[in-house]
Chain A
Amino acid sequence: MHLFLVTFILLQCLAAEVFAEEQYYKVMKVVVDGPYMEMRTGPGRGYPVFHVVDRGKEVSVIKRRTDWFMVQTERGKEGWVKRADMELTLTLDGEVPVPACRSRFWEFLASTLGGGCDVR
Protein backbone atom coordinates (compact mmCIF):
# COMPACT_ATOMS: atom_id res chain seq x y z
CA MET A 1 0.00 0.00 0.00
CA HIS A 2 2.91 2.29 0.75
CA LEU A 3 4.29 1.50 -2.64
CA PHE A 4 0.92 2.26 -4.17
CA LEU A 5 0.81 5.67 -2.61
CA VAL A 6 4.35 6.55 -3.51
CA THR A 7 3.70 5.47 -7.08
CA PHE A 8 0.60 7.59 -7.21
CA ILE A 9 2.37 10.67 -5.93
CA LEU A 10 5.23 10.13 -8.35
CA LEU A 11 2.74 9.74 -11.18
CA GLN A 12 1.11 13.00 -10.25
CA CYS A 13 4.41 14.78 -10.22
CA LEU A 14 5.33 13.19 -13.53
CA ALA A 15 2.05 14.27 -15.02
CA ALA A 16 2.83 17.82 -14.01
CA GLU A 17 6.26 17.53 -15.57
CA VAL A 18 4.78 16.32 -18.84
CA PHE A 19 2.48 19.31 -18.87
CA ALA A 20 5.47 21.50 -18.26
CA GLU A 21 7.11 20.06 -21.34
CA GLU A 22 4.23 20.01 -23.75
CA GLN A 23 1.22 22.01 -22.83
CA TYR A 24 2.46 25.46 -21.93
CA TYR A 25 1.54 28.34 -24.05
CA LYS A 26 4.72 29.56 -25.56
CA VAL A 27 3.67 33.18 -25.51
CA MET A 28 3.17 35.74 -22.86
CA LYS A 29 1.13 38.36 -24.68
CA VAL A 30 -1.91 37.86 -26.80
CA VAL A 31 -4.31 40.15 -28.61
CA VAL A 32 -8.04 39.68 -28.23
CA ASP A 33 -9.41 38.62 -31.61
CA GLY A 34 -12.97 37.71 -30.67
CA PRO A 35 -15.58 40.41 -30.17
CA TYR A 36 -14.60 40.62 -26.51
CA MET A 37 -13.00 38.56 -23.77
CA GLU A 38 -14.58 37.93 -20.42
CA MET A 39 -12.47 37.98 -17.27
CA ARG A 40 -13.71 36.13 -14.23
CA THR A 41 -12.66 36.40 -10.64
CA GLY A 42 -11.75 32.71 -10.44
CA PRO A 43 -10.75 29.77 -12.58
CA GLY A 44 -14.20 28.29 -13.07
CA ARG A 45 -17.58 28.95 -14.61
CA GLY A 46 -19.06 29.50 -11.17
CA TYR A 47 -17.09 32.66 -10.59
CA PRO A 48 -18.55 35.94 -11.83
CA VAL A 49 -17.42 37.97 -14.83
CA PHE A 50 -16.07 41.26 -13.54
CA HIS A 51 -14.33 42.74 -16.55
CA VAL A 52 -14.47 42.60 -20.32
CA VAL A 53 -11.51 43.19 -22.61
CA ASP A 54 -12.26 44.71 -26.02
CA ARG A 55 -11.23 43.26 -29.33
CA GLY A 56 -7.75 44.34 -30.36
CA LYS A 57 -6.53 44.92 -26.80
CA GLU A 58 -3.40 43.23 -25.60
CA VAL A 59 -3.30 41.07 -22.46
CA SER A 60 -0.46 39.28 -20.71
CA VAL A 61 -0.94 35.66 -19.79
CA ILE A 62 0.38 35.03 -16.30
CA LYS A 63 -0.44 31.45 -15.44
CA ARG A 64 -2.74 28.60 -16.07
CA ARG A 65 -4.92 26.38 -13.91
CA THR A 66 -6.78 23.52 -15.62
CA ASP A 67 -8.46 25.16 -18.62
CA TRP A 68 -8.34 28.66 -17.24
CA PHE A 69 -5.72 31.31 -17.86
CA MET A 70 -4.92 34.19 -15.59
CA VAL A 71 -4.39 37.30 -17.66
CA GLN A 72 -3.51 40.87 -16.92
CA THR A 73 -4.82 43.77 -18.95
CA GLU A 74 -2.74 46.76 -19.96
CA ARG A 75 -4.31 48.64 -17.07
CA GLY A 76 -3.28 45.98 -14.60
CA LYS A 77 -6.56 44.18 -14.00
CA GLU A 78 -6.08 40.50 -13.34
CA GLY A 79 -8.67 37.83 -14.00
CA TRP A 80 -9.28 34.37 -15.30
CA VAL A 81 -10.15 33.62 -18.91
CA LYS A 82 -11.47 30.32 -20.16
CA ARG A 83 -9.73 28.31 -22.79
CA ALA A 84 -12.41 28.88 -25.42
CA ASP A 85 -11.82 32.64 -25.13
CA MET A 86 -8.07 32.16 -25.29
CA GLU A 87 -8.54 30.36 -28.57
CA LEU A 88 -10.07 33.59 -29.87
CA THR A 89 -6.84 35.46 -29.35
CA LEU A 90 -3.82 35.95 -31.52
CA THR A 91 -0.18 36.08 -30.61
CA LEU A 92 1.70 39.19 -31.53
CA ASP A 93 2.69 37.27 -34.67
CA GLY A 94 -0.92 36.83 -35.60
CA GLU A 95 -1.03 33.14 -34.83
CA VAL A 96 -3.60 31.30 -32.75
CA PRO A 97 -2.05 30.28 -29.42
CA VAL A 98 -3.71 26.99 -28.57
CA PRO A 99 -2.29 23.91 -26.89
CA ALA A 100 -2.10 20.67 -28.79
CA CYS A 101 -4.96 18.89 -27.07
CA ARG A 102 -8.63 19.49 -27.67
CA SER A 103 -9.47 19.81 -24.02
CA ARG A 104 -7.97 19.55 -20.59
CA PHE A 105 -9.43 16.09 -20.17
CA TRP A 106 -7.56 14.79 -23.21
CA GLU A 107 -4.43 16.48 -21.97
CA PHE A 108 -4.76 14.61 -18.72
CA LEU A 109 -5.32 11.29 -20.48
CA ALA A 110 -2.41 11.89 -22.81
CA SER A 111 -0.11 12.71 -19.93
CA THR A 112 -1.10 9.80 -17.74
CA LEU A 113 -1.47 7.14 -20.41
CA GLY A 114 1.40 8.41 -22.50
CA GLY A 115 1.50 9.61 -26.05
CA GLY A 116 0.56 13.05 -27.27
CA CYS A 117 -2.53 14.52 -28.77
CA ASP A 118 -2.18 16.33 -32.03
CA VAL A 119 -5.87 16.16 -32.69
CA ARG A 120 -6.39 19.82 -33.05
Chain B
Amino acid sequence: MEGRARIFLLKSICVLTFLGVLSGCSLLRVDDAPSRVDDAPLQVDDAPLQVDNAPLRVDDTPYEDLEPVIKPELERRTISGVDIASENLEVGVFVGIMSIEDFGNSVVYGARLAYHITEDFFTEAAIGRTNADTTSFDDLNGGKDFLSDSERELTYYNISLGYNILPGEAFIGKGQAYNTALYVIAGIGNTDFADDNHFTVNVGAGYRFLLNDWIALRADFRDHMFDSVLPGNDNTTHNLEATGSISFFF
Protein backbone atom coordinates (compact mmCIF):
# COMPACT_ATOMS: atom_id res chain seq x y z
CA MET B 1 0.00 0.00 0.00
CA GLU B 2 2.71 2.37 0.97
CA GLY B 3 4.40 1.87 -2.42
CA ARG B 4 1.22 2.54 -4.31
CA ALA B 5 0.53 5.70 -2.40
CA ARG B 6 4.02 6.93 -3.15
CA ILE B 7 3.62 6.22 -6.86
CA PHE B 8 0.28 7.99 -6.89
CA LEU B 9 1.81 10.97 -5.15
CA LEU B 10 4.69 11.12 -7.61
CA LYS B 11 2.33 10.80 -10.55
CA SER B 12 0.17 13.61 -9.35
CA ILE B 13 3.23 15.80 -8.84
CA CYS B 14 4.30 15.02 -12.39
CA VAL B 15 0.90 15.84 -13.82
CA LEU B 16 0.73 19.06 -11.83
CA THR B 17 4.18 20.11 -12.98
CA PHE B 18 3.26 19.38 -16.56
CA LEU B 19 0.08 21.40 -16.27
CA GLY B 20 2.08 24.19 -14.68
CA VAL B 21 4.46 24.27 -17.60
CA LEU B 22 1.59 24.20 -20.09
CA SER B 23 -0.17 27.09 -18.47
CA GLY B 24 2.88 29.26 -18.88
CA CYS B 25 4.11 28.70 -15.39
CA SER B 26 1.58 31.09 -13.98
CA LEU B 27 2.38 29.89 -10.52
CA LEU B 28 6.03 30.64 -10.90
CA ARG B 29 5.32 34.01 -12.42
CA VAL B 30 3.42 34.97 -9.36
CA ASP B 31 6.44 33.95 -7.33
CA ASP B 32 8.65 36.15 -9.47
CA ALA B 33 6.77 39.24 -8.58
CA PRO B 34 5.80 38.74 -5.00
CA SER B 35 5.45 42.42 -4.16
CA ARG B 36 2.86 42.81 -6.92
CA VAL B 37 1.01 39.84 -5.60
CA ASP B 38 0.87 41.46 -2.20
CA ASP B 39 -0.39 44.73 -3.64
CA ALA B 40 -3.07 43.29 -5.86
CA PRO B 41 -3.41 39.59 -5.37
CA LEU B 42 -6.71 39.28 -7.17
CA GLN B 43 -5.48 41.02 -10.26
CA VAL B 44 -2.52 38.72 -10.45
CA ASP B 45 -4.76 35.75 -10.44
CA ASP B 46 -7.04 37.18 -13.06
CA ALA B 47 -4.42 38.43 -15.47
CA PRO B 48 -0.98 37.26 -14.46
CA LEU B 49 0.61 37.98 -17.84
CA GLN B 50 -0.33 41.63 -17.87
CA VAL B 51 1.46 42.14 -14.62
CA ASP B 52 4.62 40.83 -16.18
CA ASN B 53 4.27 42.89 -19.31
CA ALA B 54 4.31 46.19 -17.55
CA PRO B 55 6.07 45.64 -14.28
CA LEU B 56 7.68 49.03 -13.66
CA ARG B 57 6.13 51.63 -15.96
CA VAL B 58 3.89 53.62 -13.74
CA ASP B 59 3.90 56.98 -15.51
CA ASP B 60 3.47 57.65 -19.21
CA THR B 61 6.81 59.42 -19.76
CA PRO B 62 8.30 58.40 -23.12
CA TYR B 63 11.49 56.39 -22.94
CA GLU B 64 13.59 59.16 -24.48
CA ASP B 65 12.87 61.52 -21.63
CA LEU B 66 13.71 59.05 -18.94
CA GLU B 67 16.92 59.32 -16.97
CA PRO B 68 19.27 56.41 -17.68
CA VAL B 69 19.57 54.00 -14.82
CA ILE B 70 23.34 53.76 -15.21
CA LYS B 71 25.23 56.85 -16.18
CA PRO B 72 28.54 55.77 -17.75
CA GLU B 73 31.31 58.17 -16.90
CA LEU B 74 32.99 58.07 -20.31
CA GLU B 75 35.45 60.63 -21.44
CA ARG B 76 36.71 60.16 -24.97
CA ARG B 77 40.45 60.30 -24.98
CA THR B 78 42.01 62.14 -27.85
CA ILE B 79 44.74 59.96 -29.23
CA SER B 80 47.94 61.85 -29.86
CA GLY B 81 48.23 61.36 -33.59
CA VAL B 82 51.37 59.34 -33.91
CA ASP B 83 50.82 57.76 -37.27
CA ILE B 84 52.03 54.31 -38.05
CA ALA B 85 54.52 54.44 -40.85
CA SER B 86 53.84 52.19 -43.76
CA GLU B 87 56.81 50.64 -45.50
CA ASN B 88 55.58 49.58 -48.89
CA LEU B 89 58.29 51.11 -51.03
CA GLU B 90 61.57 49.39 -51.66
CA VAL B 91 64.40 51.27 -53.27
CA GLY B 92 67.65 49.65 -54.31
CA VAL B 93 70.75 49.83 -56.44
CA PHE B 94 72.12 46.88 -58.34
CA VAL B 95 75.25 45.79 -60.13
CA GLY B 96 75.84 42.68 -62.17
CA ILE B 97 76.66 41.22 -65.51
CA MET B 98 74.60 41.53 -68.64
CA SER B 99 75.12 39.44 -71.70
CA ILE B 100 73.99 41.36 -74.74
CA GLU B 101 73.39 38.94 -77.57
CA ASP B 102 76.34 39.04 -80.01
CA PHE B 103 78.04 41.72 -77.93
CA GLY B 104 79.60 39.75 -75.11
CA ASN B 105 79.28 40.25 -71.39
CA SER B 106 79.65 43.51 -69.60
CA VAL B 107 79.02 45.07 -66.25
CA VAL B 108 75.55 46.48 -65.74
CA TYR B 109 74.43 48.81 -62.98
CA GLY B 110 71.21 50.57 -62.17
CA ALA B 111 68.47 51.31 -59.69
CA ARG B 112 65.08 49.95 -58.81
CA LEU B 113 61.99 51.20 -57.09
CA ALA B 114 59.44 48.64 -56.00
CA TYR B 115 56.04 49.15 -54.53
CA HIS B 116 54.55 46.28 -52.55
CA ILE B 117 50.84 46.13 -53.26
CA THR B 118 50.05 43.06 -51.22
CA GLU B 119 52.19 40.47 -49.48
CA ASP B 120 52.23 38.60 -52.80
CA PHE B 121 52.38 41.20 -55.55
CA PHE B 122 54.72 44.11 -56.13
CA THR B 123 55.35 46.46 -58.98
CA GLU B 124 58.82 47.58 -59.86
CA ALA B 125 60.37 50.26 -62.01
CA ALA B 126 64.00 49.75 -62.96
CA ILE B 127 66.63 51.53 -64.96
CA GLY B 128 69.93 49.97 -65.96
CA ARG B 129 72.94 50.85 -68.02
CA THR B 130 75.75 48.88 -69.55
CA ASN B 131 78.32 49.16 -72.32
CA ALA B 132 78.28 46.58 -75.06
CA ASP B 133 81.48 44.69 -75.63
CA THR B 134 82.86 44.00 -79.12
CA THR B 135 80.89 41.74 -81.37
CA SER B 136 82.34 39.01 -83.52
CA PHE B 137 81.95 41.33 -86.46
CA ASP B 138 84.44 43.73 -84.89
CA ASP B 139 86.98 41.00 -84.44
CA LEU B 140 86.61 39.72 -87.99
CA ASN B 141 86.68 43.17 -89.43
CA GLY B 142 90.20 43.76 -88.33
CA GLY B 143 89.67 46.24 -85.56
CA LYS B 144 87.25 48.50 -87.35
CA ASP B 145 84.48 49.34 -84.95
CA PHE B 146 81.01 48.20 -85.76
CA LEU B 147 79.49 50.68 -83.35
CA SER B 148 80.75 53.94 -81.99
CA ASP B 149 81.33 54.32 -78.27
CA SER B 150 78.09 56.18 -77.69
CA GLU B 151 76.19 53.58 -79.68
CA ARG B 152 77.64 50.84 -77.53
CA GLU B 153 75.93 52.32 -74.52
CA LEU B 154 72.83 50.34 -73.64
CA THR B 155 70.22 51.83 -71.35
CA TYR B 156 67.03 50.07 -70.44
CA TYR B 157 64.10 50.95 -68.30
CA ASN B 158 61.08 48.90 -67.50
CA ILE B 159 58.11 48.38 -65.26
CA SER B 160 57.36 44.91 -64.02
CA LEU B 161 54.96 42.99 -61.86
CA GLY B 162 56.43 40.56 -59.39
CA TYR B 163 54.93 37.73 -57.40
CA ASN B 164 56.48 36.39 -54.22
CA ILE B 165 56.12 32.73 -54.91
CA LEU B 166 58.11 31.20 -52.08
CA PRO B 167 58.21 33.26 -48.92
CA GLY B 168 60.08 31.61 -46.12
CA GLU B 169 63.10 31.62 -43.91
CA ALA B 170 66.77 30.93 -44.41
CA PHE B 171 68.86 29.66 -41.53
CA ILE B 172 72.43 30.63 -40.99
CA GLY B 173 73.98 28.80 -38.11
CA LYS B 174 71.84 27.57 -35.24
CA GLY B 175 70.48 30.79 -33.90
CA GLN B 176 69.90 32.95 -36.96
CA ALA B 177 66.84 32.95 -39.18
CA TYR B 178 66.30 35.41 -41.99
CA ASN B 179 63.20 36.14 -43.99
CA THR B 180 63.51 35.38 -47.66
CA ALA B 181 61.30 35.27 -50.70
CA LEU B 182 61.69 33.78 -54.10
CA TYR B 183 59.82 35.78 -56.67
CA VAL B 184 59.00 35.65 -60.34
CA ILE B 185 58.80 38.86 -62.25
CA ALA B 186 57.85 40.01 -65.73
CA GLY B 187 57.40 43.37 -67.36
CA ILE B 188 57.74 45.64 -70.32
CA GLY B 189 60.02 48.52 -71.09
CA ASN B 190 62.35 50.12 -73.51
CA THR B 191 65.94 49.49 -74.43
CA ASP B 192 67.99 52.25 -75.93
CA PHE B 193 70.83 50.58 -77.82
CA ALA B 194 72.82 51.49 -80.91
CA ASP B 195 70.93 54.76 -81.26
CA ASP B 196 67.67 52.90 -81.53
CA ASN B 197 64.77 52.27 -79.17
CA HIS B 198 63.53 48.74 -78.79
CA PHE B 199 60.36 47.64 -77.07
CA THR B 200 61.56 45.13 -74.53
CA VAL B 201 59.87 42.36 -72.61
CA ASN B 202 61.60 41.11 -69.51
CA VAL B 203 60.98 37.94 -67.55
CA GLY B 204 62.94 36.54 -64.69
CA ALA B 205 63.16 35.42 -61.13
CA GLY B 206 64.87 36.63 -58.04
CA TYR B 207 65.65 35.98 -54.43
CA ARG B 208 65.15 38.49 -51.67
CA PHE B 209 67.07 37.99 -48.44
CA LEU B 210 66.09 40.34 -45.64
CA LEU B 211 68.88 41.20 -43.26
CA ASN B 212 66.41 42.84 -40.91
CA ASP B 213 62.91 44.10 -41.46
CA TRP B 214 63.94 46.91 -43.80
CA ILE B 215 67.27 46.01 -45.46
CA ALA B 216 67.24 43.37 -48.16
CA LEU B 217 69.85 41.71 -50.33
CA ARG B 218 68.61 40.61 -53.70
CA ALA B 219 69.79 38.39 -56.49
CA ASP B 220 68.02 38.82 -59.80
CA PHE B 221 68.10 36.92 -63.05
CA ARG B 222 66.38 38.50 -66.00
CA ASP B 223 65.99 37.95 -69.69
CA HIS B 224 65.50 41.16 -71.65
CA MET B 225 64.03 40.30 -75.03
CA PHE B 226 63.83 42.73 -77.89
CA ASP B 227 63.87 42.62 -81.66
CA SER B 228 67.11 43.81 -83.16
CA VAL B 229 68.72 43.93 -86.58
CA LEU B 230 72.19 43.94 -85.06
CA PRO B 231 74.67 42.79 -86.08
CA GLY B 232 73.01 41.86 -89.34
CA ASN B 233 69.97 39.68 -89.19
CA ASP B 234 66.56 40.60 -87.79
CA ASN B 235 65.74 38.43 -84.83
CA THR B 236 64.58 38.48 -81.22
CA THR B 237 67.59 38.84 -79.01
CA HIS B 238 67.78 37.39 -75.54
CA ASN B 239 69.90 39.50 -73.26
CA LEU B 240 70.50 37.72 -70.01
CA GLU B 241 71.29 39.64 -66.90
CA ALA B 242 72.36 38.56 -63.43
CA THR B 243 72.51 41.20 -60.75
CA GLY B 244 72.94 41.53 -57.05
CA SER B 245 71.47 44.43 -55.18
CA ILE B 246 70.87 45.97 -51.82
CA SER B 247 67.53 47.56 -51.19
CA PHE B 248 65.79 49.38 -48.41
CA PHE B 249 62.14 49.45 -47.41
CA PHE B 250 60.70 52.78 -46.44
Contacts and interface: CB of A to CB of B under 8 A. Distances in A.
Decide whether A and B assemble into one complex: yes
A26 B86 CA distance: 12
Nearest to A40: B179
Contacts of B87: 63-65
B56 interface: no
Nearest to A69: B84
Nearest to A2: B157
Contacts of B118: 66-67, 104-105, 108
B137 to A, nearest CB: 28
Contact of A23 (B86, B123, B127, B177): B86
Contacts, number: 105
Contacts of B82: 28
A5 B119 contact: no
B164 A44 contact: yes
A61 interface: yes
Q: Secondary structure at chain B's binding surface: helix, strand, loop or mixed?
A: strand
Interface string A83-104: 0000000011100000000001
Contacts of A13: 89
B115 A62 contact: no
Interface string B59-99: 00000000000000000110101111111110000000000
Interface stretch (B34-42, B165-173, B222-230): B165-173
A45 interface: yes
B212 to A, nearest CB: 10
Interface stretch (A14-22, A31-39, A51-59): A14-22
B166 A46 contact: yes
A73 interface: no
A41 B169 contact: yes
Contact of A44 (B85, B86, B157, B181): B181
A43 B249 CA distance: 12
Nearest to A109: B117
A9 B113 contact: yes
Contact of B88 (A8, A19, A61, A70): A19
Contacts of B168: 46-47
A110 to B, nearest CB: 12
A27 B125 contact: no
Nearest to B249: A65
A9 B91 CA distance: 11
Given A8-B125, A44-B119, A66-B119, A26 B81 contact: yes
24 contacts: A1-B190, A9-B113, A9-B125, A12-B89, A24-B84, A26-B81, A26-B83, A28-B82, A41-B169, A42-B167, A42-B213, A44-B119, A46-B167, A46-B168, A61-B84, A63-B84, A63-B86, A64-B87, A65-B87, A66-B119, A67-B118, A93-B79, A104-B118, A105-B118
